[in-house]
Amino acid sequence: MLHIVGSLMLAVAATSDVAPDVPQGQPDILVKTRQPVEVGVNQLDQWVMVDSQGLEIALPTRGIRFARSAAIAKAADLELARTIGLDRWLRVELADDVDATALRGLLAAMPQVEHAEVDVYGGLAGGFDDVDDPSFSQQWGLLNTGQVVQGVAGVPGADANILASWELSTGGDPIVIATLDSGAYAHQDLVGRVVAGWNVPQESSNTTDTCISHGTSVAGIIAANTNNSTGMAGICWTAQIMPIVVVDPCNGYESWVADGLIWAVDNGADLVNMSLQYEDGIQYLYDAVVYADSLDVPMISATGNYDSDISYPGKWAETIAVGATMNTDLRWSGSNAGLEIDLVAPGYNVYSTKLVSSYGFVTGTSFSCPAVAAVVAMMRAHDSSISSSDLRDIINSTARDIGLSGYDQWTGWGCLDAGAALETVLSMTVDGDLNGDGSVNGADITIIFSYWGECPSDCPADINGDGSVDGADLTILLSHWTF
């Protein structure tokens, strides 16, 4: 026999077990049912939903501390609220030791539930334009408000939309980015961000910058410590820089680049930045590029600074070739162009790290290239299974068109849009991720078994769509197991 729900809610609310709505602790789960229900506790002390016919539907037996209607009492226009379905929302509060994501999956799998989601805690918009790095306002490529940089007034919004990406992710699991360059100084803003690398010309582990801070500036754009009350902000907050010296001091043989690329891939680089320009591409270097590509290591390359054809290695299709823009949302005049270009990114008067404690402005496709590398690292950090070719497609398809409509040989697919790229990656689903938490794990198996057997056409556990949940669906799920 079911207790009257209204009385139950008053009784439960009077106990000491009901916590007020506070931002700490477990987030609530919001559940939208397929038809209006009431919620309460039956005589067995189980949380249940009760439909209009009096049918009692048990909720998961553990983990729910309190449940109530979420919205209908707050809606002034009840007819409109019912049309939208606001009268079908429930708010479920959880015990402290419960995995909110797993419980959400169990609730979402119930036939009576249309949708279930973990509540999200946030705040006022604009938090990331208040990072405490003192020179952040100079970094127009991250946030262009129209500020004057080096005497040039910018165009608001003419940036790489980095702040929008930070709202989604500031890096995730550490990604090792090999910078095939001139090395890196032990800069104050790169503390903890540099791992062991290699000096190809010297055949040594000495990776101190050999060329007027070129490699140090590249590293800073990618990975300078952010929100540390010092200097500037790096784009990927968790990236690790693997400096590979391939010049002596500022120029070098293409074979050195090839050797450095092979060394980086063989020693754990997840991604490679090549802020380099060569007029000819030797076969040995191309073979090294093919080697890295075959191992699914993304390579981001500069287009070059001669206002000419695309330079190597960026000319090869296996790389993502990046040109440079100015704070006025125009292509920088020195940025090489051609049909091999993928996209452009801020590269004119870009602020970055120099020497061991200095900062300054640098210009060139060498410095637009690492902005793309940092965003690709953030994408890979979220989902390591995304292939290099798919990463390229996402970066290009989400770019903000700034030149001629569509693709053109001067700006490619447009300017890097980090926010759109990250949003695309986060929205991608994997076969077997039945509860939408980004992983395929035990919670998804629980959902599989809760639907085992014949299943209706909208059954969330019928992965292969054959009308039943069986061993074939379980096999697909296990093939995508991530946690």
Residue positions annotated with a catalytic role:
181, 214, 366
Report the alpha-carbon distance of residue 392 to residue 271 in Å, rounded: 12
Q: What is the three-state SS of the chain?
A: CECCHHHHHHHHHCCCCCCCCCCCCCCCEEEEECCCCEEEEECCCCEEEECCCCCEEECCCCCEEEEEECCHHHCCCHHHHHHHCHHHEEEEEECCCCCHHHHHHHHHCCCCEEEEEECCCCCCCCHHHHCCCCCHHHCCCCCCCCCEECCEECCCCCCCCHHHHHHHCCCCCCCEEEEEECCCCCCHHHCCCECCCEECCCCECCCCCCCCCHHHHHHHHHHCCCCCCCCCCCCCCCCEEEEEECCCCCCCCHHHHHHHHHHHHHCCCCEEEECCCECCCCHHHHHHHHHHHHCCCCEEEECCCCCCCCCECCCCCCCEEEEEECCCCCECCCCCCCCCCCEEEECCCEEEEECCCEEEEECCHHHHHHHHHHHHHHHHHHCCCCCHHHHHHHHHHCCECCCCCCCECCCECCECCHHHHHHHHHHCCCCCCCCCCCCCCHHHHHHHHHCCEECCCCCCCCCCCCCEECHHHHHHHHHCCCC
Hey, what amino acid is at 221? I
> Is residue 4 exposed (0-12), middle (13-18) or buried (19+ Cβ within 10 Å)?
exposed
307 in the Ramachandran plot: left (φ > 0), alpha (ψ -120 to 50) or beta?
A: left
